Structure 1
Amino acid sequence: MISTKPNFSLTEGTEFILNNERFQIAMIKGLQVVLESETQVLTFSQAQIVTQYRQGLITPAPPKTKSISLVLNLSPEDRETMHFREEVVLQMLKESPNAPTAKRNILCAYDEIQKRSRGKKISFPHHGTAARWLKRYRDANNDKYALIDNYQQTQGRGAGLPLEVKEVVSDFIHKYYLERRLSPNKAFEFLKSKMPSILPGFKCPSKSVFYECVNEIDADYVTFHREGPYARNQAQRQALKKYELYYPFSRWEMDGVVAQIGLLCPVTFKFLGIATIMFAFDCYTKVVPGYAVLISKKKAENSELAVSCFKNAVLPNEDGSGFFGLPLVLSADAGTAFTSTPFTHFMAMTDVNRVTTVVRKPEKRPFIERFNLTFRRGCLEDLPGYGGVLKLNEKFYIEDNVEKAATLTVDEFMIKLDQFITHYNEEAHSSLLDRSPKSVWEHHISDNPGLVRLPGDDVSGNSPYEAQSKLKLFEHFSGRCIKATLQGHKGIVVEKRYYNSVELRETFKYLNKEKKALTVYFDHIDISTVVVVSPTSNNFVIVPITDGRVQQPMSKSQYDAIVEAPFSDIPKASTTPWDAKCHIVDGAMARRKAQELAKVKENREKNKKRREKELEYEGIDLGNGPQLHAAISDLKSENAALPITIDVDQPESEKVNDLSDVLLPKHAAKGGSRGEF
């Protein structure tokens, strides 16, 4: 069954509830976990904690609630300061979510805020001070009230400094101690000499208070500004040596390599694309238990590659040999391959604790990154047609001579890759005191066979069928997911490939009338089978492909090459769409247009002749145009109506009974007031 229960993160700093008490993981030493609360300290093994979590005895702790007493007692000055700092922090995150504390991004945030101020001059602090604001904001779970200096009361001697003095002290620390690399004593002397001119009326803090402010800065931040990024990275790598592992499976790491090496189809010798390889690495024994390869014409470090790699590492070979088993902890970056929904569902079936690290931080996964370097130098650089490794967000173009330099086929590349992994697992390693990873693995597994766990081993009760079903689902699970409907006798159609079986039709025959969509898991690494899950339950069926040309397993690129093989010698035709406006149609349209124009001309001649007959009937000579206009003008003047004049002063006795008396001549005698209409 597919479980969607979230994984329990077994890392330092994780808080949870045990026996109605809040505990925090203080330290992880090998397989032992030290728990600390306000009243006691306990030690458990990782297996015991996982078991109690499954039984519900351990539950994730809810986030701590913050007091709002300071919020209610804020002064107007503090509230204005809080809003200004919040605006700076949010603009920094908007400029660059991945690197908001970079100096360039902070200055861009300042410029954007200045543009929105409508001409008001704003005094911005040092960029190091803004970085500290962001750290406080993030440490408080994005709480804006943490940006107020007295939000978290401290017991240090500098807790009572005025806000203006704290800002000046912070600026001097970043400007003189970090950037100019002066000693804290000399930086304090500069502050003491310039304090009266910068803040007249304020007292300079003591040297001990200044030293306390210096000690509050993060050590990595100090190393980065005083010694550079290389020294900071070296210090972080030294800090990573705290990993103390004592058994296999205690920590695995996964990562991918995108190699610019063109590969050919073993049948048609056509270019298929570049290789993306993902490895799983056991950090204690240095064994590579499994890997997966995806051939594509673009960078393809996706969820299906991650799922396939983890399956190959966990499951044994067909003869039962190899390095296999479920790890306790899996560490990977926050790329889309490991944060996608299919991979999350896949990991929920295994009860493996996931540790997600920051992207572009190789020091968070030191073991797999070191192996990637060994793989590039020891294997890829010796292969013909290799053009380097693509970095994150680097564009890839087929025109970069990758296709022209392609020499190896997919089968030849897989043979070379398998030979390198076998040699790596069997050769001596200096970190293992010249022992091979294979011998160290076999030594610990022979002494502790219970370390090897497979999916389904954790099924409670005596239910071998359920355990076998879970193992079967894990084996055939894929990294791509779509919704599809059952199409009668055709089965399931995935990317124009048909998958069908008797078991599929019998299991989901009740959906033929309802037309409900089924969840189908598939990938491009092996297209021979798909997993179909019911929409109403977690029942699943593994369905094979109906195409007899597909061998198990076979990738999509190889399948496409086989489909195109019968037509490889035939040149491709033009892809120009058919145009209905050919010369025949154009001639017919021109003929029709000419007919319409002739008809319009004919109608115009008919109307002209009809008008001439009407004017001739009325007795008008149409021979001369000016005579026609003169005749029309005389006719209008003869038929024009005469003006009517009414005498309003006429006595009442002289009433007009006949309307003909009202019509007066044009030159009537003047008398009284008249109205002319």
Structure 2
Amino acid sequence: MGALIKQGTKFRMDNSSYLVRSVAREHFDNMIFYSLFDDDSQKVNNARVECMTQPELHKKIIENEAVIYERASDIPLQKLLTENQLNQMQLWQAFFDLHFEKHSKNFTAKHNVDETIEAFNWSSYNSRKYSRSSCQAKIKVYRDSGGDIRSVIGFGYHEKKNSKRLTAATEDLIYEYFCDYYLVRSDATAKSVHAIADMLRVKIRELSKSKPACYPVIPCVDTIYRRFRETLALLTTQKTLSKAEARKLRYKLGREFVPEDPLERVEMDAVYINLGLNNEANKFLGTIVMMIAIDTCTRCPLGYSICVGKNASESADLAIECLKSVVTPKDNPLWPCFGVPVRLVTDATTATKGNMYKSLALQLGANPVVTRTGEGWSKPFIESFFRTLRREFLSKLPGYLGSKTRINNRHLEATEDAELHASMTLE
């Protein structure tokens, strides 16, 4: 069994977008006919029609030569780096190479770091000599990311331009209101963007009185609009549409995110849980990474997988185990949900870019859809689920320090970590 590519499917190949015009069901292999597609004008180039077999497209997807997407904003793009960022990447890569060549263990030990600092040629990169604490922090981030040099380089102001920083609690509330009052099919509960902005401001004003630390700033209407525009480019035209057109647009978006039937659209992502776990002998095992898949029609979790370790991270094995959990029946009779998704939406992380994961998804019959990494609006329901999980459950567990992927550990001392606060076991 393989994933069925349907008419209207959009995919990216050789830096161009294509739309599947038709699928001919033949005896051996289905034949896919496709044409160039302009994402800006939403028009198909009728001058030329090309074709390939379905297994050929599957092979290109598995080998990362093609990618299925839903909207133009989902196409994974590599953000351009400034000259200073490129120089920083070269500097720290050379520093790490020298450091790991000199030392095979105790990478953040004071004497080892000091030795590398003195031996490194900072002047060749027109750089000042960094302090020991800065180098230790860079080494830790580099190792925790699995050797991703991009993780040690700041994003820079140019990538944060025109975006106002809000607290995590405020962002959570915007996510919830967007899911609960916009991506719905019922006129009784659906609200316009302006109405949602007014509701959010009133709610945040109330919460700022009881929880001033979590809600220190009441976002203006323009800031809330900008959050919606970051989600869907179509929303920028919302203010110029008539009520009837706006309703059609909302229904179109609602059907895209909230399908009519279960398993039509499943969102899958991982959450880092900075909670230390011990074994029965009270020996520290590490922190947690959990991958969860949720059905956007029923909002029911379909499966999950967990990794525990001192350097736990997203991996292809974690994604494969989660997919296995989605498609296999559960032992718990109170959790009857399982099945093969039609569209399996993930972001472009290393966990879901592996050949094994894509091959398994396609063989089972699921179409893996890729969105941009770091843009949670492309998967609003799984992100909303994670926020509820953090706020209502994880935050109440003893030893929970937050999420590694979010800047919410400023209340901790430099020496505090998950191992120091670990008190729970796997049982």
TM-score normalized by the length of structure 1: 0.30
Which protein shows a greater Rg? 1
TM-score normalized by the length of structure 2: 0.46
